Amino acid sequence: MTLQSGARIAVLGTGLMGAPMARRLIGTGFDVVVWNRSREKAEPLAADGATVATTARDAVAGARVVITMLTNGEAVTDVLFGPEGVAASLDPEALVIDMSSIPPDVARDHAVRLERLGVRHLDAPVSGGTRGAAAGELAIMAGGPEDAFTEAVPVFAAMGRATRVGPSGAGQLAKLANQVIVGVTIGAVAEALLLAAAGGADPAAVRDAIRGGFAESRILEEHGRRMIERDFIPGGKVRTHIKDLDTALAAAADSGVTLPLTQNARDRFAFVRDAMGGGGYDHTALLLQLEEAATGGGRIGTGPDRLPE
C-alpha cells in the first residue's frame, strides 16, 4: 500500500537538510509534524504549514512515516532508543525512514530492533546538498524491504529520485560510495584548477573549456564554481565529510578493501579542520589545503575568501 497525500509524516531533525526536505513534503500535501532538539531550528517551519512538536515522542504520535535526519549514528540511536526515545511510541503500522548518514552496521541494528517492535525501517541517506533538498532533486539511496520501499515511493518523490539498492544497510553503503567519489573528485578538481592557475591559465576559462568533455561532473560544475568564486559557505561541511570518509574507511577495512585515494582526501580534509579551523567550511575548502601546500604560492581566483561566521 502506498501513502496518499494528507498522511501524517514526522520529521525528526530540521537542520540544513531536514528543514528544506520538510518543506518539500508540506508542499506535496502531507501533514508534517517537525521536531528538533534545538526548537528554534524547527519553529520557522510553522509558517510553511508544519506542526512543531515539543518532544520527539509528541511528533511521532499518529505518524504513518517517521523520517530521521540527524547528525550521526549516535544521535539516531538516541532519538530512537534512548531514555526519551520514540521507538516505544511508534504506531505499529509506522515506517521509519532514516535519511541520516550513519554506519551500515548501525542501520542494520536499528532495523532489527524496530522489527522486534513490529515497525518497518528503511535506511535512505541522500546526496545533493541543501540546493538539491530545496529543489526536490536529491539522490536517495534506500536499503530495506522492497514492500516498505514501494510504500515510501510518494514520500521519496517529494524530495528527489529514490533507488532501492539492497537490504538493510545497503543505502548507507551507497552513500559511502557517493561520499568517496565526491571527496576524491573535489580534490581532483581543486588540483586541476590550481595547476591551471599556477601555470598562467585562467582557471575559470579552463573550467568552461573542459565542461562537456570526459571531465564533466556535478563537482566540476558546482564545486569548481565555488572554488573560482572562493565561496566556502556550507553546503556540505568539512567535518561532516570527514565523518563519512572515516565511516567508509572503517567499512572498507572490515571488508578487506584498501581505499588509498579516500585516505589521502580524508587526511587533507582533516588538515582544513584541524590546522585551519575549517571544520564548518564547505567541503570545497579542500582547495585551501592544496593552496597551503603549493610551494609556488598558487591561488585560484582573485577575490577574498567567503567563510562562515
Residue numbers annotated as active site: 175
Nearest to 24 by CA among 112, 136, 180, 130: 136
| H helix or E strand, kind and range, residue 308 | none
CA atoms of 245 and 229, how far apart (whole Å):
26
DSSP letter for each residue of 237-306: BHHHHHHHHHHHHHHHHHHT---HHHHHHHHHHHHHHHHS--TTSBGGGHHHHHHHH-TT---S-SSPPB
Beta carbons of 103 and 251 less than 8 angstroms apart: yes
- Residue 309 CA to residue 281 CA, distance in Å, equals 10
Q: Are 105 and 49 in contact (CB under 8 A)?
A: no
The Cα-based distances of 134 to 25, 70, 141, 229 in angstroms read 11, 17, 18, 22
Q: Residue 274 and residue 128: Cα distance in Å, rounded?
A: 26
DSSP code at position 231: B
